[in-house]
Chains A and B, each alone.
Chain A
Amino acid sequence: MTSSGISFNGVSHTYRPPRGRPVLALDGVSLEVKDREFVALLGPSGCGKSTLLYLLGGFMPVETGTISVAGKTVTGPGPDRGVVFQNFALFPWKTVQQNIVYGLEKQRMPKPEREKRAQELIELVHLEGFGDSYPSQLSGGMKQRVAIARTLAIDPLTLLMDEPFGALDAQTRTLMHEELLAIMRRTPKTVVFVTHDVREAVYLADRVAVMTARPGRIKEIVDTKPSTGSRAEFIHTQEYTEKVDYLWNLVRDEAIKAQGEH
């Protein structure tokens, strides 16, 4: 099996708005994500965590530093890095099934195979019977499940998630957490997960990288893998509560700084 580790090496990024002064968004970020590891990027809004993910996705050019995935330097988007966005980013004119097979069409997979794969994925994300629905007919949670299925269809080495559950209500979000973990058990992937939700980060990730307010740097990396038992049990342990408190204190200072900027 190919190793799909990710490495960020001294990555800086300057945001240049069409009008106004350039803003330093990321300042010398270095981070190693191991193969099949789930890392959450946690930080206040505007800290550049999404920018870091977009650079990893290859959607913006890396000007300073390097990012590499499985040993290859990132120069543009590619099917080795599947992406899930907060706003789902489904093609609204395509049905659930058509959305899921889009990436497979690009890989020139024959139609019968595509349809078989789509069916498997629809089952994986529990959307049986919705294959012919349009995204506008689905709830937020269902849309995000379609987006996850569309990304998993092409079987990427790594999964890049940009606050994927941020637009969902609390109950749906909790269910989606469980589903994501179940999916990751069946098809383990290297995951970079951007969030500003401390509990979400602790619950899902193996490690949490806390970022500072702008310009974003890595402030501290905290191990959040449960020392014993499953994640479902983890959430009820003292250990979980302590990690959440510890991380919240780290993020809190940065959130206050970020607010002070406005």
Chain B
Amino acid sequence: MTNNVVVRYIPLLLLAILWEIAPRIHFVDPSELPPLSAVLKAWWSLLLDGEGHTFLAVFFKGSLWSNGVSSFINWFFGLGGAIVIGVFLGVFMARYQTFDDVVSPLVKALYPMPKSALIPVMILWLGLGAGSKIASIGLSCLLPVILSTYNGSRGVEQTLIWSARSLGATDRELLWEVILPSALPEILAGIRNAVAISFIVLVASELLVGQHGLGYLISFLGEGGVYDAMFAVVVTVSALGFAADRAYLYFMRRTLIWRE
């Protein structure tokens, strides 16, 4: 087990070494790709509100923390809203044919749309603040949640529904106690896709405009030419995305323990 983990992270370690060496021996231009050690140093300074970094100490307003918090808020409400509304709509579509007939074509037409194309529209409608970012994330994450809930709810074994009915379940109990738990594996898989999409749209929407968030920080530092710090934020966002997926996977396995 321990051995496996070590082996699995060897490629990452090699990449880190390469990242350190390549700029140092000028195999790549260090101003375009600062060595990893410089990036880590900048990252540390970002955590300490710019302390120990010439540029950050003078020009930097707000820390990695405060920007992280604004990003977290956008992400949380965008994704959370998408999950709540998506599950609701998905179940509703699966249960009511008329509603399905109206909504299904819209969902199917919107599904292949590039999610980032929504961002400028949301900015136009909702302005430059958090609202447009939450809406962009929410709308982008909505479709995978709707579709997985819809498929999961339609795929419920007929005999499970009949069993619950003959044991005395009401319509409401059927929904909460049979249809949703039965659809849960598919719903959770759909939400995992939504989590991945949420990170893409979060950063993209903050990159485009705004004065807050990790995406904003990346563009601010990039335009300022502070590439060590910019890379530090990029790495932070990637690590957060990776950690979110791992944590989610763990949660999903725990929740679906009955499938083993």
Contact = CB atoms under 8 A, between A and B. Distances in A.
A78 interface: yes
B168 A92 contact: no
A131 interface: no
Contacts of B165: 58-59, 76-77
A108 to B, nearest CB: 10
B166 A79 contact: yes
A82 interface: yes
Contact of A154 (B157, B159, B167, B178): B167
A109 to B, nearest CB: 11
A62 to B, nearest CB: 15
Given A136-B258, A150-B167, A93 B162 contact: no
A210 to B, nearest CB: 25
A89 B173 contact: no
B166 A85 contact: no
Interface in A78-117: 78-79, 81-83, 85, 87, 89, 91-94, 102-103, 106-107
Contact of B168 (A54, A59, A107): A107
Contacts of B160: 89, 91
Interface string B162-196: 11111111000100001001101000000000000
B259 A136 contact: yes
Contacts of A78: 166, 168
A134 interface: yes
Contacts, number: 65
Interface residues of A, number: 29
A57 interface: yes
B260 interface: yes
A136 B162 contact: no
Contact of A81 (B157, B166, B260): B166
Interface string B125-161: 0000000000000000000000000000000010110
Given A92-B259, A93-B258, A136-B259, A85 B169 contact: no
A93 B157 contact: no
B227 to A, nearest CB: 50
Contacts of B178: 91
A24 B162 CA distance: 23
A9 B11 CA distance: 74
- Per DSSP, chain B at the interface is helix
Contacts of B258: 92-94, 134-136
A145 B258 CA distance: 19
Contact of B166 (A82, A92, A135, A136): A82
Given A93-B181, A136-B260, A77 B166 contact: yes
Interface in A11-47: none
B164 to A, nearest CB: 7
A217 B44 CA distance: 82
Contact of A102 (B157, B164, B184): B164
Contacts of B173: 106
Contacts of A93: 181-182, 184, 258
A212 B56 CA distance: 87
Contacts of B257: 134
A103 B157 CA distance: 18
A93 B259 CA distance: 8
Contacts of B181: 91, 93
A114 B108 CA distance: 46
A84 to B, nearest CB: 9
Interface in B95-113: none
A92 B183 CA distance: 11
A135 B257 CA distance: 12
A106 B163 contact: no
Given A91-B181, A134-B258, A85 B163 contact: yes
6 contacts: A54-B162, A79-B167, A91-B164, A93-B182, A93-B258, A134-B257
Interface of A: 54, 57-59, 76-79, 81-83, 85, 87, 89, 91-94, 102-103, 106-107, 134-137, 150-151, 154
Interface of B: 157, 159-160, 162-169, 173, 178, 181-182, 184, 257-260
**Which 3 A-B residue pairs are closest in the complex by CB-CB distance?**
A106-B168, A103-B167, A89-B159
